[in-house]
């Protein structure tokens, strides 16, 4: 699925005819309704058709000011992951930024080492493209307000 594949294609080039996206988008809602419904990844992908392969979004009506990476350290919490992606993508897209959500998994049965997962993930993400900002995000934390950026 489109949330599981990381493509090294980098960010799309903005059309020269696009104006810069506003720093403070007018379509932010403030407090948002969080859905904790467990959905199939395929259903989320269909609903969020604006998300590109590799978990990235690029606004179509303006040139984004920022390129942001959201890194999620993950292991054995699939239900939390689908709830996070279902809620986080719409919130981030309203900000008119170019972003990519990376989900980094630690394999094996050793004690989960979130810091190591984020360090490895950060190194790998920077091989794909430049980011202006990087967020380290937990799979079980859901933003309740879309003005959080």
In angstroms and rounded to an integer, the radius of gyration of the C-alpha atoms of the chain is 15
Please state the rounded mean pLDDT for residues 21-36.
90
Rounded CA separation 96/121 (Å): 24
Distances from the Cα of 77 to the Cα of 44, 67, 90, 107, angstroms: 17, 27, 21, 13
Please state the rounded mean pLDDT for residues 38-46.
90
Please state the rounded mean pLDDT for residues 54-68.
93
To the nearest whole percent, how much of the chain has pLDDT over 90?
60
Identify which has the larger pLDDT, 143 or 11: 143
Please state the rounded mean pLDDT for residues 54-72.
93
In this prediction, residue 76 carries a pLDDT of 86
Pairing of strands 67-74, 98-105: parallel
In this prediction, residue 17 carries a pLDDT of 80
Please state the rounded mean pLDDT for residues 65-89.
93
């Amino acid at each position: 699925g489109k949330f599981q594949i990381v493509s090294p294609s980098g960010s799309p080039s903005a059309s020269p005819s696009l104006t810069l996206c506003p720093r403070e988008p007018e379509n932010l809602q403030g407090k948002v309704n969080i859905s904790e419904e467990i959905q199939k990844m395929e259903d989320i992908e269909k609903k969020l058709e604006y998300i590109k392969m590799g978990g990235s979004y690029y606004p179509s009506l303006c040139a984004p000011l920022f390129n942001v990476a959201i890194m999620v350290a993950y292991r054995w919490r699939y239900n939390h992951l689908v709830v996070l992606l279902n809620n986080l993508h719409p919130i981030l897209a309203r900000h008119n930024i170019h972003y990519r959500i990376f989900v980094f998994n630690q394999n094996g049965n050793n004690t989960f080492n979130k810091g190591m997962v984020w360090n490895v993930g950060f190194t790998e993400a920077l091989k794909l493209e430049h980011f202006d900002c990087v967020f380290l995000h937990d799979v079980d934390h859901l933003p309740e307000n879309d003005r959080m950026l």
